[in-house]
Amino acid sequence: MIKSFFDGMLYKRDSEELGIQIESLYKSEFGPGNLPSKRKENRVYGVVVPYSQYDYSGAAMAWAYKILAESYFPETYVILVPDTKGAFVNYVTVFDDFETPFGVCKVDLEFARNLIDLGLVSFTSELNEFTLEVQLPFLMHSCKDRISDLKILPIIVPNLHNYDKLVEEILKLKKDIVVIVASEMSPYGLKYMYLPFMENVEENISKQDMVLMKNMINFEYEIYLKFIQKNRIPILGKNCVVLGLELIKSLGSSSGELMCYYRSSQVNNDDNNSVGFGVVVY
């Protein structure tokens, strides 16, 4: 069992308080405005969702998980997250389930083993990645109606080596999936060692993010990656976006829809250091 590490820091530790926190985010200023309604059978292939502490990115996350809560329930949610510590060379997954304040979040063990047997993904017994952990309570809350059936396949994405082959093999193994891509938009400030603009910062950094989100919506992931590289934007989840969009497109999606965008500076009034939170649904 992989135990929670960031509960009490990035989100509430107590299950009752966490439930209240998540519900308040749905209704918050930047959230969707209300709680998820009853699940329907409309198909959603994937979402791009941020991963900061709930006080900042939680309202944006609520947009993504409201859509998932109201849509077709798949056999497995594939969650792609960045390697924020630079700990891995290859794609990595786990066999152990995750312990959360809401209970156990189960890993699709057969799916994980089959991927590892193909040699494209490696195994780790220790996984302490906050970009993944913050997704789990939100996902479990959105799947309350199917909690006993909920399974995930987490994949750490340190690079894009053979990503097209990985997509091909994932779809050979299982097509009844929804893809959750953990990534954020442009950071800004000394904290992130990124200061591309000295004037009209919020306006210019938001314009930059709009270019990136347009690329994501239209599956222009090669253009997206080149734009990031050209402008040296330190987006940790960029590789997750490229892999995730290739997978989502291969599942049958033709375009995405921007559901939400704001910057952390709009929450904490810190214009000197900020990060963009965008949610795209496919």
Query: What would the pLDDT profile of 45-54 be if each residue is shown by its tens digit?
Result: 999 999 999 9
pLDDT digits 0-9 by tens, 55-68: 999 999 999 999 99
Location of structure tokens 């750490």: 156
| Half-sphere exposure for 76 (CA within 13 Å, toward CB) | 20
Indicate the pLDDT class of residue 92, thresholds 50, 70 and 90.
very high
Mean pLDDT computed over 69-96: 97
Domain ranges of the chain: 15-281
- Rounded CA separation 2/9 (Å): 17
CA–CA distance from 79 to each of 85, 109, 182, 215, 240 (Å)? Answer: 18, 14, 7, 21, 9
Indicate the pLDDT class of residue 88, thresholds 50, 70 and 90.
very high
pLDDT at 126 over 90: no
> Which CATH code of 1.20.1370.20, 3.30.1370.100, 3.40.830.10, 1.10.490.10 fits the domain covering 15-281?
3.40.830.10
How much is the pTM?
Answer: 0.97
In one-letter notation, the amino acid at residue 30 is F
Output the average pLDDT for the chain: 97
* Alpha helical stretches, state H, the chain: 15-26, 54-69, 109-117, 130-133, 135-142, 163-173, 201-217, 221-231, 238-251, 265-268
pLDDT digits 0-9 by tens, 226-262: 999 999 999 999 999 999 999 999 999 999 999 999 9
**Residue 106: other Cβ atoms inside 10 A:** 16
CA–CA distance from 163 to each of 34, 158, 172, 226, 247 (Å)? Answer: 37, 11, 14, 17, 9
CA–CA distance from 123 to each of 115, 116, 162, 270 (Å)? Answer: 10, 7, 17, 39
DSSP string, 34-66: S-----------EEEE--S-HHHHHHHHHHHHH
DSSP string, 198-215: SSSHHHHHHHHHHHHHHH
- Rounded CA separation 112/102 (Å): 23
Provide the pLDDT for residue 129.
Answer: 96
| Half-sphere exposure for 246 (CA within 13 Å, toward CB) | 21
Residues in a beta bridge with 182: 49
